[in-house]
């Protein structure tokens, strides 16, 4: 069994953050480790409070895993402060090339609550050099590129290509929130922009549900898990499998009926098989 480490904040409803990541990892057949960066008091209606874990203690958690366990892939989510981001960056520098790294540059929650303090954006740019795949949403992609948020899928892909070229990483452009992504047949597009290959675009039916809490966490974690499980699995195959599983998790989200706001996706749907 492969081992996947998530570095992330928490969610008491387990729809997002480290708890949701562990569900994703387990569902997809790997064993999950977690390093907690912040204790977030939130539910399906929004974020209520954040307790930030000090950077030295984040590093202590990483060192504890290092001293005892093998890591086959890493997913990075909410970091919260530039100090934590730099601590994680230093740890990754010491493990350069040891495992694939998927970075979900969390800046703002779905509810609109800021999840990162001043200075985190610049620290995130420093982390990009360690990431094999980056999975920003549209505002995060724009912030990393120092641009205004894209309003078309083509503009978002152009920003993704700029980010990939600048930092030598693959970028996932998520088109779900763009007004032009719904095609004539009711499909939505996402793109994988590899650092050394053509752009790979996938489309699927737009699913009508309000229960999409944690989709960003789930996609990034699924990517890391699929990459951990096969040394010869390329990013295109991992992206396709992760996206296929996520579509099913969203399709069955309403089965859970969690909370009165934007509920979580259903992390327990069967995994996809990479092509």
State the catalytic residues. Answer: 174, 212, 214-217
CA 164-165-170 angle, 5° bins = 25
Per-residue exposure over 146-172, b if at least 16 CB sit within 10 Å of its own CB, e if not: eeebbeebebbbbbbbbbbeebebbbb
Structure tokens at 143: 């912030």
Are 8 and 78 in contact, with CB atoms under 8 Å apart? yes
Integer Cα distance of 162 and 156 in angstroms: 10
Reported as type and span, the H/E element at residue 230 is none
Are 26 and 229 in contact, with CB atoms under 8 Å apart? no
What is the DSSP code (8-state) at residue 67? T
Query: In 3-state terms, what secondary structure has residue 254?
Result: helix
Q: How many CB atoms lie within 10 A of CB 196?
A: 8
């Amino acid at each position: 069994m492969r081992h996947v480490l998530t570095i992330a904040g928490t969610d008491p409803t387990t729809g997002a953050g480290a708890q949701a990541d562990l569900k994703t990892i387990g569902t997809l057949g790997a064993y999950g480790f977690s390093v907690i960066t912040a204790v977030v008091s939130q539910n399906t209606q929004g974020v209520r409070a954040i307790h930030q874990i000090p950077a030295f203690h984040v590093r202590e958690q990483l060192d504890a895993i290092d001293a005892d366990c093998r890591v086959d892939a890493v997913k990075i989510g909410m970091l919260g402060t530039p100090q934590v981001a730099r601590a994680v960056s230093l740890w990754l520098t010491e493990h350069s090339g040891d495992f694939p790294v998927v970075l979900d540059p969390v800046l703002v929650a779905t509810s609109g609550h800021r999840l990162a303090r001043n200075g985190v954006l610049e620290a995130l740019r420093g982390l990009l050099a360690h990431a094999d795949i980056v999975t920003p949403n549209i505002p995060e992609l724009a912030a990393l590129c120092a641009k205004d948020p894209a309003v078309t899928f083509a503009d978002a892909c152009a920003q993704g290509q700029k980010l990939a070229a600048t930092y030598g990483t693959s970028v996932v452009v998520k088109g779900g929130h763009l007004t032009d992504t719904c095609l004539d047949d009711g499909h939505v597009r996402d793109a994988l922009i590899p650092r050394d290959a053509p752009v790979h675009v996938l489309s699927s039916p737009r699913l009508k549900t309000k229960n999409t809490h944690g989709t960003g966490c789930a996609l990034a974690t699924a990517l890391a898990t699929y990459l951990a499980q096969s040394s010869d699995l390329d990013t295109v195959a991992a992206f396709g499998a992760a996206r296929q599983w996520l579509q099913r998790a969203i399709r069955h989200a309403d089965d859970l009926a969690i909370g009165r706001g934007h509920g979580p996706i259903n992390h327990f749907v069967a995994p996809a098989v990479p092509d």
